Amino acid sequence: MNVFAPASDAARAIADISWVLVVGAFLILSGVMALLAYSLRDGGKVRTRLWLLGGGVIFPVVVLAALYAWQLGHGPQWKPVPPPGALVVHVTGHMWWWEVRYRDPATGADVIAANELRVPVGKPVYVALESRDVIHSFWVPELAGKMDMVPGRLQHLLFTARRAGAYRGQCAEFCGEQHARMAMHVVALDPASFDAWLSAQAKPASAPGAPMLARGRDAFLQQRCDACHAVRGQTAESRFGPDLTHVGSRSHIAAGTLPNTPEARRRWIAHVQQVKPGARMPSYDRLDDATLEAIAAWLGSLQ
Ligand SMILES: [Cu+2]
């Protein structure tokens, strides 16, 4: 996470304003120090009224008014409604993960995912921010400023990614025990890859193609994982935990806590409460290795 490497218009505007303020403040401080040195050395020869009025009133008024006028045209854009042509994505904060909701351009249906946001490069993205429980804050420094996610309110951020890449974000408002393990990844893709990705995410999960994967799916249902998780096409809809329909396509699990590898998925399922104490999912340490392996393999196959 690097505020000095902006990859979007909004982040570039914030970085520019910060540089102007930092460099400007440094120049002014240097000027004041030089004046101070001069007045001490030359004791008594400074024209007090001139410097008090000029340096204490006129100078700050002119500088602050100029800065204000300049930043009016340079700050990030705020639009109460999404501008035409913008991609609208809903992100809902939960303790301690992110639900991500797109609209399928083909059918208009919701496409729900978690913890990973993909956006097209060069197109305005309007991120509508909500919370299901406490106040969270959405912060991906390379792409936009921070915005609080307040229960009962709809906040938003607007940015246009200019560089393809993966950007890490972090919840920036203390939200309880696992606040520190509430990260997300935003992946900016060229528009064609983005469209392909979105239409793949809109599809339900395909049926398991191998006996081992079918065993994993069956164990998932037997253990009632579907009481909290939805795998579209394979389970009923349940929205308490992250949607797992295409969990295999994400780079990380549990909001940036672990890389999405078979071992990490096994470890997560068996030892949630060691990996992320307090997370709202029980540890399944009573499952035998073969069952854990099958579930982890099936989840990995959900691309
Ligand atoms: Cu949070």
**Is residue 131 domain-resident?**
yes
Provide the pLDDT for residue 249: 96
Classify residue 63: in a domain, yes or no: yes
Residue pair 125/79 in contact by the 8 Å Cβ criterion: no
Q: Which of 202, 223, 241 is the last residue of a domain?
A: 202
Q: What is the pLDDT of residue 210?
A: 93
Same structural domain, 97 and 183: yes
CA of 99 to the centre of ligand 1 (A): 12
Q: Which of 47, 74, 101 is the endpoint of a domain?
A: 74
Closest C-alpha among 268, 262, 252 to residue 294: 262
pLDDT of the residue at 6? 92
Q: Ligand 1 centroid to 181 CA: how many Å?
A: 9
Say how many Å lie between the CA of residue 180 and the centre of ligand 1.
8
Cis peptide before 96 (omega within 30 of 0): yes
Indicate whether 216 and 156 sit together in one domain: no
Query: What is the structure's pLDDT at 40?
Result: 84
Structurally, how many domains does the chain consist of? 3
Question: Cα–Cα distance between 133 and 114 in angstroms, integer?
Answer: 16
- Answer yes or no: do 295 and 245 share one domain: yes
Other CB atoms closer than 10 Å to residue 41's CB: what's the count? Answer: 8
Q: What is the whole-number distance in angstroms between the Cα of residue 70 and the centre of ligand 1? A: 34
Q: What is the CA radius of gyration of the chain?
A: 25
279: helix, strand or coil:
coil
Q: Is residue 26 part of a domain?
A: yes
| Residue 91 covered by a domain | yes
| Domain stops at, among 175, 202, 229 | 202
Share of the chain above pLDDT 90, in %: 77
Residue 44 has pLDDT above 70, yes or no: no
Both 221 and 193 in a single domain?
no
Q: How far apart are CA 4 and CA 166, in angstroms?
A: 16
Whether 178 and 276 have beta carbons less than 8 Å apart is answered as: yes
278 and 240 fall within a common domain? yes
Residue-number span of the structural domain to which 27 is assigned: 9-74
**175 alpha carbon to ligand 1 midpoint, in Å?**
4
Q: How many angstroms does the Cα of residue 197 sit away from the middle of ligand 1? A: 27
Q: How many angstroms does the Cα of residue 254 sit away from the middle of ligand 1?
A: 13
CA–centroid distance, residue 176 to ligand 1 (Å): 7
User: What predicted TM-score, i.e. pTM, was given to this entire model?
Assistant: 0.90
Amino acid 78: pLDDT: 74
Identify the residue whose tokens are 């793949």. Answer: 200
State the amino acid at position 191 in one-letter form.
P
Q: What is the CA(92)–ligand 1 centre distance, in A?
A: 10
What's 133's domain CATH number? 2.60.40.420
Instruction: Tell whether 248 is covered by a domain.
Output: yes
How far is it, in rounded angstroms, from Cα 96 to Cα 108?
28
Q: Do 180 and 108 share a structural domain? A: yes
Helix 59-74 and helix 9-41: axis angle, to 10°?
170
180 & 271 share domain:
no
d(CA 256, CA 258): 6
Verify that 91 and 198 share a domain, yes or no.
Answer: yes
If one compares 39 and 234, the residue with the highest pLDDT of the two is 234
pLDDT tens for 125-184 read: 999 999 999 999 999 999 998 999 999 999 999 999 999 999 999 999 999 999 999 999
Q: Separation of 78 CA from ligand 1 center, angstroms? A: 23
Using the mean position of ligand 1's atoms as its centre, give its distance from the Cα of residue 152 in Å: 15
Tokens at residue 219, please?
């164990």
Is residue 56 in a domain?
yes
Q: What is the mean pLDDT of residues 70-96?
A: 87
Helix axes 289-301, 211-222, angle to 10 degrees: 110
Shared-domain flag, residues 39 and 106: no
C-beta separation of 298 from 207 below 8 A = no
Phi, psi at 93, each rounded to 5°: -80, 135
* Calpha distance 128→155 (Å, rounded): 6
- Rounded Cα distance between 193 and 40, Å, is 66
Pair (50, 100) in one structural domain? no
Residue positions counted in the chain: 303
What pLDDT, on a 0 to 100 scale, did the predictor assign at position 43? 66
Shared domain for 28 and 109, answered yes or no, is no
C-alpha 275 – ligand 1 centre gap (Å): 17
Residue 113 lies in a domain: yes
Dihedral sign (CA 58, 59, 63, 68): negative
Do 15 and 103 sit in the same domain of this protein? no
The answer to whether residue 270 is domain-embedded is yes
| pLDDT at 244 (0 to 100) | 96
Q: Tell how far the Cα of 37 is from the centroid of ligand 1, in angstroms.
A: 49
Task: Look up residue 185 and give its amino acid.
Answer: H
Q: How far is the CA of 257 from the centre of ligand 1 (A)?
A: 14
Residue 231 confidence (pLDDT) above 90: yes
Asked if pLDDT for residue 279 goes beyond 70, the answer is: yes
